[in-house]
Amino acid sequence: MNYMKSAPLKQSRTGHALSVALEFLFPSGCQVCATPLRGAPTPWFCGPCWAVEADHRVCFQCGDFLASETVTRVPEWRCGACMRAAPPFARARVLGGYDGLYGHAVRLLKYREKTSLANYLAGRIRPRAYPDGFWDVDLVMPVPLHPSRLRERGFNQSARLAAAVGRRMGLPVAGHLLERTVATASQVGLKRRERLRNVARAFAVCDTDSVAGKSVLLVDDVITTGATLSACARALMRAGAVRVNAWAVARQTAL
């Protein structure tokens, strides 16, 4: 009886020792710089690459990166695009640019199903680096996939991120209230106006009573032109949401 209980433990310890030995002899490489990952803080990125901090020179509203440091000294500075036509969401922020660490992270999560990476990314959030009130929301919602795309992929990377962000910030997650009702074409390769037309009226709220009077944080993997987030925000505002903020892992240069 005692032997039967101790055998699995012995096997587990042996397996762990073998895993450690193999990692020491043949460590995997950082997804950014290919440095061996011996003693790295994550299973995918080395310490120096993972330590890269985001550039906080951003538009106060849409979170797009700004080229000049001078404009960021002006409180609540907004970029030209937001001054010409403000997006329907109040604030948007990302961890960093798509080039480099965060682009690699998004591709690992989305295309190689490294879903546990979502928790590591949410752990990168530094609440004090965000505008006042950014996290004062009632609900966290992922940007939804159409059911056909969800069946094809098997999971929604934005939903995994939303769940991780909710845990990190102690906020309730509502993954079922916002739906993608139109199976739109992929946004990849489309110009800004094409993206806006592609997702216009593609989203709807399935329970308006649960959204009315609430402030919402939308979560996605990448922001490019903001067309998808804008379409989601409009759907939420039509359902009675009082404010929509947006968070994503990375921002990709607009087309």
User: Which 3-state string (H, E, C) describes the chain?
Assistant: CHHHHHHHHHHHHHHHHHHHHHHHHCCCECCCCCCECCCCCCCCCCHHHHCCCCCCCECCCCCCECCCCCHHHCCCCCCHHHHHCCCCCCEEEEEEECCCHHHHHHHHHHHCCCCCHHHHHHCCCCHHHCCCCCCCCCEEEECCCCHHHHHHHCCCHHHHHHHHHHHHHCCCECCCCEEECCCCCCCCCCCHHHHHHHHCCCEEECCHHHCCCCEEEEEEEEECCCHHHHHHHHHHHHCCCCEEEEEEEEECCCC
Mean pLDDT, residues 143-151: 90
β-strands 178-180, 203-205 pairing = antiparallel
Instruction: Please give the biggest Cα pair distance in the chain.
Output: 75
Q: Are the beta carbons of 182 and 201 closer than 8 angstroms?
A: yes
Q: How far apart are CA 228 and CA 143, in angstroms?
A: 8
Q: Which neighbouring-strand residues pair with 247? A: 93, 219
Nearest partner of 217 among 130, 129, 153, 111, judged by Cα: 130
Does the pLDDT of residue 172 top 90, yes or no? yes
Q: How far apart are CA 210 and CA 176, in angstroms?
A: 11
Does the pLDDT of residue 234 top 80, yes or no? yes
Domains of the chain, residue spans = 135-255
Nearest partner of 231 among 191, 188, 181, 189, judged by Cα: 181
Confidence at 185, pLDDT banded by 50, 70, 90 = low
Does the pLDDT of residue 28 top 90, yes or no? no
Read off the pTM.
0.83
Among the ranges given (28-32, 56-60, 163-167), the one the predictor scored with the smallest mean pLDDT? 56-60
Write down the pLDDT at residue 93.
96
Write down the pLDDT at residue 210.
96
Q: How far apart are CA 124 and CA 161, in angstroms?
A: 12
Q: Which neighbouring-strand residues pair with 222? A: 250
CATH no., domain 135-255: 3.40.50.2020
Write down the pLDDT at residue 8.
40
